[in-house]
C-alpha cells in the first residue's frame, strides 16, 4: 500500500479502529493514539531511537495493544511550504514501515507543533525544561494526530 493522502485515510481503515500519530524527533518518536471514533487523540508513549527494526517492532506492539490500524506521521514542512531533509527522513521512515507491514499511512503538516506544545507546557502547566523534555514528543504526537483528525471531520 502506498502512502495515502490524509483525505483517503478513513476509507483505507477498518471501521471503529484507532489510528496512531507519530512525531519523529532526532532521538525519540512520540506516539499518540485516537479513540475508536477517531475524534480524540491522546499521547501514548515515547520510543527511544536506536535501530529502525527495534523502533518498528515497538511501534507495531503499541499499535496491536490498542487495535490501531493506521498511522499519521507529522511532516515538518518549512514555513515557506518547501520540504527539507527532515521531511525526506520522515518519508523514508514511512516507506521503511511499509516494507515491514502493509498498512494505511498518511502525513500531516506539523509546522509549529513542537513550539505550540512547548508554549502550552510553559504557560499552562508551568513545567521546567527537564520535565518538558520528557513529555513534549508524546504531546506533539497528540497535537499532530488531533489536527489530522479534526481535518478529516471537516
Categorize the per-residue pLDDT at 127 as very low, low, confident or very high, splitting at 50, 70 and 90.
low
49-83 pLDDT tens trace: 999 999 999 999 999 999 999 999 999 988 788 88
10 Å CB burial of residue 116 (0-12, 13-18, 19+) is middle
Residue 60: the pLDDT is: 98
**What is the rounded distance in angstroms from the CA atom of residue 75 to the CA atom of residue 124?**
26
Model pLDDT, residue 49: 95
Over range 115-141, report the average pLDDT.
Answer: 67
Element (H, E) at 26: none
Q: In the prediction, which pLDDT does 136 show?
A: 73
**132 or 57: which leads in pLDDT:** 57
Mean model confidence pLDDT for the chain: 89
- For 6-153, the fitting CATH number among 3.30.420.140, 3.30.2350.10, 3.40.50.300, 3.20.20.140 is 3.30.420.140
Dihedral sign for Cα atoms in the order 73, 35, 61, 101? negative
Contact by Cβ (8 Å): 146, 40: yes
**What is the pLDDT, as a whole number, of residue 93?**
97
Q: What is the pLDDT of residue 28?
A: 93
Per cent of the chain over pLDDT 90 is 68
**For residue 84, what is the enclosing H or E element?**
none
Beta strands in the chain (DSSP E): 19-24, 28-34, 41-48, 70-75, 105-109
Amino acid at each position: 500500500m502506498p502512502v495515502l493522502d490524509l483525505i483517503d485515510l478513513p476509507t483505507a481503515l477498518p471501521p471503529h479502529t484507532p489510528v496512531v500519530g507519530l512525531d519523529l524527533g532526532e532521538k525519540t518518536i512520540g506516539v499518540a493514539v485516537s479513540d475508536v471514533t477517531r475524534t480524540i487523540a491522546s499521547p501514548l508513549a515515547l520510543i527511544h531511537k536506536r535501530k529502525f527494526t527495534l523502533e518498528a517492532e515497538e511501534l507495531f506492539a503499541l499499535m496491536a495493544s490498542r487495535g490501531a490500524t493506521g498511522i499519521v506521521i507529522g511532516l515538518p514542512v518549512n514555513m515557506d511550504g518547501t520540504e527539507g531533509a527532515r521531511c525526506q527522513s520522515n518519508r523514508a521512515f514511512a516507506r521503511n514501515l511499509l516494507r515491514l507491514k502493509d498498512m494505511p499511512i498518511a502525513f500531516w503538516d506539523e509546522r509549529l507543533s513542537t513550539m505550540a506544545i512547548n508554549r502550552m507546557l510553559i504557560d499552562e502547566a508551568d513545567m521546567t525544561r527537564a520535565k518538558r523534555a520528557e513529555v513534549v514528543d508524546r504531546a506533539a504526537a497528540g497535537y499532530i494526530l488531533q489536527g489530522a483528525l479534526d481535518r478529516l471531520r471537516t
